[in-house]
Chains A and B, each alone.
Chain A
Amino acid sequence: MPIRTEPVTVNIGPQHPSTHGVLRLRVTFDGEVIVDVEPIFGYLHRGSEKLAEERNYVQVLTLTDRLDYVASMTNNQAYCLAVEKLMGVEVPLRGQYLRVLAAELQRVASHLVAVGFLLQDLGALATPLMYCFRFREKILDLFEMLCGARITVSYMRPGGVFADAPPDFWPALDVLLAEASELVAELEQLLMQNEIVLIRTKNVGVLPLETAIAHSVSGPVLKASGLAWDWRKMDPYDVYDRVRFDVPVGDRGDNYDRLRVRIEEVKQSLGIVSQCVEQIEPGPARAELPFVLRPPAGAEAYGRVEAPKGELGFYLVSDGSIAPYRCKIRSPSLINLTVLRELLIGWKLADMIVTLGSIDINMGEVDR
């Protein structure tokens, strides 16, 4: 006698241990196998784009901290680049170096969060997560030295950074860089050769390059699919044309490649930081700009950076007043999330959680 079965629809989230915030996934299962996934978001919508229209150009900066709150520095950087294009300002060289340095440290911190939570989703009971956070903590301490805050930094300003680094920052940075190789070695021993991690991530959630491009995916997700597309190389902003680094690329675009690309990027970022330390020269860190900026009316600018999660862009339109007329945020998390359905149909519940973790979304950025 055939047993009558029927698909089950489960709402994973918005309160769920591993949806990375308040994402809700309406998933239809046939047993354990996923038949349909529909990401539903908006639970963290704060109207950042609209709020930006009511605040002056420096005040908007504090809103950008809250988009991707594990990578505030790169959010600051993208916004500042947009405002500088709008105003036609040249940033002093030391300011550019400090920005790159802070952004790369932030990239390390953000990737550590991504890797740690991916392993948490795999069920590793917070041990890799704790090791990652232990190192991230040291980076956040450096941010506290730079700008007095750890998460919501508001470090950069249109025209540079708000102030030069304090003198005790540089020795602390040297200590951090010396410890970093140990961390990367430990993570690789713990993760990259672990058979359970390998069989759980290899060939799971494969994203073909065509699909990735069709969905306009960016960041480590795109790199893992095999395309070395990195705005730091393609359109060097700040001083990325003065430092040498490689863009890691995956072969298949599976979860393992996304994990590996992130760990490789951590290594590359640490290399960029040490190059910045060598190359940086004394000078002003901030261009002389008035506190209240008035870009010319009708000016438009798009500033983009390679944020840890992908291409982060701010599109600003000015009407000549002290506040932007329109501020559009191109957030990588939202666009990378659109590919989720393609990745998941036909896989199992456990793979869904891992794949979602490997895409590394941040709900603050998805909902804005």
Chain B
Amino acid sequence: MGPFLRDNVVFREVYCWLGGSESNAGLCGGADGLLPAGFEWAAYFAAGFAIILILVNGALLGAAAFVWAERRLLARFQSRRGPNRWGPWGVLQPIADLLKLLIKEDIIPHAADRVAFTLVPIIMLMALLLSLAVLPFAKSAYLVNLNIGVLYIVAVSSITTIAIFMAGWSSANKYAMFGAMRGVAMLISYEIPLVLSLVGVVLIAGSMSLVSVVEAQTIPFIIVQPLGALIFMLGISAELNRTPFDILEAESEIIAGYHTEYSGIKFALIQAAEMAGVLAASGFLATLFLGGWSGPFLSGQLGALWFLAKLGFFVFLFIWIRATFPRLRIDQIMAFAWKFLLPLALINIAVTAVQVYFFGFYQAEVPGEITRGELLIMAAINIPLALVSIAAFGRVTREKIRVPAPRFEGLAPIPRTAEVD
């Protein structure tokens, strides 16, 4: 009996319905299931499969819903109407898009590396779905309660970098290569402030498990950790290739970036992974900084609704930012990560560590216990600190970011030849 799944509501229901017996009375209360005794393993697989079905289909349907929401909202930001033909308010538009993509010809370029080219959509979607495993959607509604959940998210989401590079390399397309090189440079840079911004949360919560992080949030960590939340938000939008960090697929510069050559179902899968990635990122933001499924009242019963509301808030924020901002240049993006986000993240860690030591160990009756009042004191320190440090580093990096690129001196211009085409 795997220890991971015991807390999951869906798992328990399905497992007990199928295979409840004397041997697992602790979980199922001794009631008999449909399957005869000795087939608990089958019930175990069936229950696990049920969860996976819900999760995968939920993620893909969520991606479809997000496509619709983004198109509608973007349209409204741009004073347009958006898709409104298929279904009420155009809700069936993603289905129509998907059908179109399914019946399109699935082109693999002649010069492409077929294996790597085909693997890319699978890897991207897999990385995304893996990261959803630790996300608590409601009270006791998660696949696993990993005690290294935060680390797991970071680890799994960086698989996408490899997929992007594979896409760019295997496509045998110069635009895709541009996108891939930009992607690798940017994604690896943004991993660092992203991870560091989570350290503060982990320090306060005293655990890396997302479930514990939610339970530790007597007040939302976005108030206690404003810098951490800001850095995580910016870092994750870079990881998701959203504006203003969407240089990977900057359509006005390199057509579609790393997925220029993808079409048909492969393109659909890449898009699904990207769109569901936004949902997952919003979920992580909601869980880590807004208290996840816990709400002001009825957290136990309405947990999923609270979670969805917070997720929707961040999704709206992502779409709003996408509708408003232009794109940064690659050197500016790198400077932003290394010269702005990284120092801020280090400041955040240092301050939070001192605070946690002071409130949680130096002063506390129970070691590691930080009360609500102490969290509020930390917030009162951290919010002004965040403003001051943003102002300070904004001033420092402003000039550095704005230095123009040097004129290229090293390589002489290539002699032109008469063109005969």
Residues of B within 8 A of A124 (CB): 243, 324-327
Interface of A is mostly: mixed
- A126 lies within 8 A of B78 (CB): yes
Closest Cβ of chain B to A12, distance in Å, is 9
Interface residues of B in 59-108 (CB under 8 A from A): 74, 77-80
The residue that A125 contacts in the complex, of B253, B255, B323, with Cβ under 8 A, is: B323
A125-B323, A348-B329 as given contacts; A35 in contact with B413, CB under 8 Å: yes
Interface residues of B in 172-226 (CB under 8 A from A): 174-175, 178, 181-182
- A30 lies within 8 A of B411 (CB): yes
Contact with A along B125-164 (1 / 0, CB 8 A): 0000000000000000000000000000000000000000
Residues of B within 8 A of A30 (CB): 408, 410-411
Q: A234 near B: Cβ within 8 Å?
A: no
Residues of A within 8 A of B402 (CB): 198-199, 202-203
Total residue contacts A-B, CB cutoff 8 A: 118
Residues of B within 8 A of A121 (CB): 252
Nearest B residue to A121, CB-CB? B252
B residues contacting the other copy or chain, number (CB 8 A): 45
Closest Cβ of chain B to A292, distance in Å, is 43
Residues of A within 8 A of B409 (CB): 346
Interface residues of B in 319-347 (CB under 8 A from A): 322-332
- A10 lies within 8 A of B175 (CB): yes
Residues of B within 8 A of A122 (CB): 252, 326-327
A40-B419, A196-B326, A348-B331 as given contacts; A35 in contact with B78, CB under 8 Å: no
Q: A197 near B: Cβ within 8 Å?
A: yes
- A123 lies within 8 A of B413 (CB): no
Choose the segment among A86-94, A127-135, A165-173, A261-269 that binds chain B (4+ C-beta atoms closer than 8 Å). A127-135
Q: B244 near A: Cβ within 8 Å?
A: yes
Nearest A residue to B251, CB-CB? A17
- A353 lies within 8 A of B252 (CB): yes
Q: B254 near A: Cβ within 8 Å?
A: yes
Residues of B within 8 A of A206 (CB): 404
Q: B229 near A: Cβ within 8 Å?
A: no
Q: A299 near B: Cβ within 8 Å?
A: no
Residues of A within 8 A of B175 (CB): 10
Nearest A residue to B403, CB-CB? A203
Q: A349 near B: Cβ within 8 Å?
A: yes
- A130 lies within 8 A of B246 (CB): no
Q: A347 near B: Cβ within 8 Å?
A: yes
A125-B243, A130-B80, A199-B402 as given contacts; A349 in contact with B326, CB under 8 Å: no
Interface residue ranges, B against A (CB under 8 Å):
74, 77-80, 174-175, 178, 181-182, 243-244, 246-247, 250-255, 322-332, 401-402, 404-411, 413-414, 416, 419
